[in-house]
Each structure stands twice: as C-alpha cells, then as structure tokens.
Amino acid sequence: MKISELAEETADALRNAGEAALRITTPSIRLGVTGLARAGKTVFITSLVQNLLAGGRLPFLDAAAQGRILRAYLEPQPDDTVPRFDFEAHLQALKSEPPDWPESTRWLSQLRLTIEFRPQGLLDRLTGRNRLHVDIVDYPGEWLLDLPLLHLTYAEWSQRAVGHARGMKRRIPEAARWLAFMEKIVPDEAAAEARVVEAAKLFKAYLHAARDDERTLSTQPPGRFLMPGDLEGAPALTFCPLLLAADGRAVRRSYREMMERRFESYKAQVVKPFFRDHFARLDRQIVLVDALAAVNGGRTALDELKQAMTEILRAFRP
C-alpha cells in the first residue's frame, strides 16, 4: 500500500479544503521529528525551538544565517485532539540544576511555531507573505516499523518474527521463554482467552527485553506493543506470532483464527489511522539515530539498528 492511497482514504475533504484556504494567508509546513527511543527527539525539538524563539545562532538554517528571520513565537496548534508538545516543561528539565533528561516520547505530540521573516522571492514580497507556521510533530519511530506489517499476511509475519526470536534466544532469555510457551500451543486448537493473553504478555516481555538490552538494541514491530497508551490491554494489541507449519486457512475459533483476526484489526484500526491522519500529512521529516549506542553495543546492535533504519526509511520512499 502506498502512502498516497492512505491519504486518499481521508474522507474529511472539507477539513482539507479549509486547511488549503488557510494556507493562502499563512503557509504552513508540517515537520515530523522521529527516531527510536533514546535517539534524542525531545531534546532536539526543545533546543531547536528555544534557539528560534531566543534568536540563537542557527548557521545551518539559510534564513537564519542570512539574518532574514525577524522573530519566532509559539501559537496554538491546529489539531485539537493531538497532545501539545510540552516545550516549557522539557525546557525546564534541561535548564534545572543538575539538568534533567526530559520525559521520553510516549505518544504523538505537536507544537506550532510561527516564524516571521523578510521575504526573499518577488512573489512573496508582492503578496506580503512573510509568515510561516511550522507544525512540529513528534512521534515514536517505533510506529514506523509497523508500516511493513501492512504488506504482510499473518502467516508471513509469524514466520519472520519467530525466526527473529530464535536468533535472539541465546542472548535474550525472554525470547526463549516466549518460544517455549508457544511450542505448547497448537494453532488449530480452540483458542482459550487466558492463554492468548499469556502468550501476548510473554511476547511483549521479549520485545521490551530485546530493545532494552544494549548488546541487541533490537526494535521489532508491532510498535504499539512497546508503547500502547490508552489501548493497553485491548484485543487489537493482544496477539503474537504462532509457530505455523505452513500457509493455509485457519480453523474456526482456533488460536490461529483469533490471532490472525487481531493482527488484521491492529493493522486496520491502529496502524492505518496513524499513517492516514498523521504520517501522510507531513511535508518534511527528520529522523534521529543514536549511532554511538549501537557502535558501543557491538555487531548485533549495529545490524539491528541498520535493519530498523532500513525499515523506517522505506516508509519515506514513494
């Protein structure tokens, strides 16, 4: 599925028309900032905004280097149901003695920065366009890892994920524990709710452990399993791969049917809305990478980071 198709699904044509009309008066740019956990998203945004607000030196930004930025200030963001990026609190944390690391990104947040500048182009000078809204959208890079899931069937994903867990088994005890539990589940047997809950819990424990272990730093989808927010405990987030022998159809009311249905539900009700409502609307994207931690973690960590970044960057290719 292409991003353009996702964008087309947005039925709310009126809202888009309204936004387009607004852009005539003041153009706006949606700037996505993402990266895996601990990549430094919050610190990056906070310092960028603070530098623009305080008129700090930003030689890499042409308009700033040429002295064309007159002033910058914060304005109310356009999206009412998206949390505001808590710039003031993050700045406070960084400025405190001793400085505190700001709370990490757990969800999507947004901040509107309005920049007044001296127009350069003839058209801008004629139309008097000298303001730009920059809507900064901060979100966990883990969510981008969900994009490849849209192309996979449940069986395909199961095979990949089980293969990955087997590779991790010796380093990450949680991977071995989850695999051992799954050995006892027969995919075509009638599903027992309690065992599905337990299997998903063990799978999540493995995903968390693989991410937090500094020798692996492995970030595997589904991204919301690591950051569930209000969906914590919902069936759409309560599934895991099965040890499937071969491709085929699921028996009614079996583990396979239940897991497969929830996997599809995750894609349709969690992944797609994010790409449609947020990702597809971005104009520019910044991806932050903590390369040093991976180098420090060794070969496996570096390979995992490379793989995760390849998956993430694939989301930006047309």
Q: Which of 3, 7, 61, 74 binds a second copy (CB under 8 A)?
A: 74
Q: Which of 77, 158, 218, 219 binds a second copy (CB under 8 A)?
A: 77
Work out how close the CB of 263 gets to a second copy at its nearest, in angstroms, rounded to a whole number.
11
Amino acid present at 199? A
Q: Which of 52, 172, 175, 236 binds a second copy (CB under 8 A)?
A: 236
Question: Interface with a second copy includes 76 (CB under 8 A)?
Answer: yes
Q: How far is it, in rounded angstroms, from Cα 37 to Cα 33? A: 12
Sign of CA dihedral 156, 162, 166, 167: positive
Sketch the per residue contact string, 210 through 229, with a second copy: x for CB under 8 A, - otherwise. Answer: -------------------x
Question: Interface with a second copy includes 75 (CB under 8 A)?
Answer: yes
Q: Which of 61, 205, 234, 286 binds a second copy (CB under 8 A)?
A: 234
Question: Interface with a second copy includes 83 (CB under 8 A)?
Answer: yes
Work out how close the CB of 212 gets to a second copy at its nearest, in angstroms, rounded to a whole number.
22
Residues 173-202 that bind a second copy (CB under 8 A): 191, 193-194, 196-197
The residues, ordered by sequence, that sit 6+ positions from 285 with a Cβ below 8 Å of its Cβ are 31, 32, 33, 34, 316
Residues 264-283 that bind a second copy (CB under 8 A): 265, 269-270
Amino acid present at 123? L
Question: Which pair of structure tokens corresponds to residue 102?
Answer: 């700001």
> Distance from CA of residue 270 to its chain's centroid?
12
Question: Interface with a second copy includes 100 (CB under 8 A)?
Answer: no
Give strand pairing partners of 285: 32
Question: Which pair of structure tokens corresponds to residue 129?
Answer: 């366009």
Residues 103-142 that bind a second copy (CB under 8 A): 107, 109
Q: Are β-strands 131-138 and 284-288 bridged in parallel, bridged antiparallel, or unpaired?
A: unpaired
Work out how close the CB of 135 gets to a second copy at its nearest, in angstroms, rounded to a whole number.
13
Q: Is 24 exposed, middle or buried (0-12, 13-18, 19+ CB in 10 A)?
A: exposed
Question: Interface with a second copy includes 258 (CB under 8 A)?
Answer: yes
Q: At what angle do helices 154-168 and 173-183 cross, to 10 degrees?
A: 130
Only one of the segments 55-63, 72-80, 179-187, 208-216 lies at the binding site for a second copy (rule: CB under 8 A); that segment is: 72-80
Question: Interface with a second copy includes 9 (CB under 8 A)?
Answer: no
Which letter, b or e, does each residue of 47-67 get, where b requires 16 or more Cβ atoms within 10 Å of its Cβ? ebbeebeeeeeeeeeeebeee
Q: Evaluate whether 38 touches 289 at the Cβ level (below 8 Å).
A: no
Helix (H) or strand (E) holding 45: helix 41-53
Work out how close the CB of 78 gets to a second copy at its nearest, in angstroms, rounded to a whole number.
9
Question: Interface with a second copy includes 97 (CB under 8 A)?
Answer: no
Residues found near a second copy in the complex (CB under 8 A): 74-77, 79-84, 86, 88, 107, 109, 191, 193-194, 196-197, 229-236, 238, 258, 262, 265, 269-270
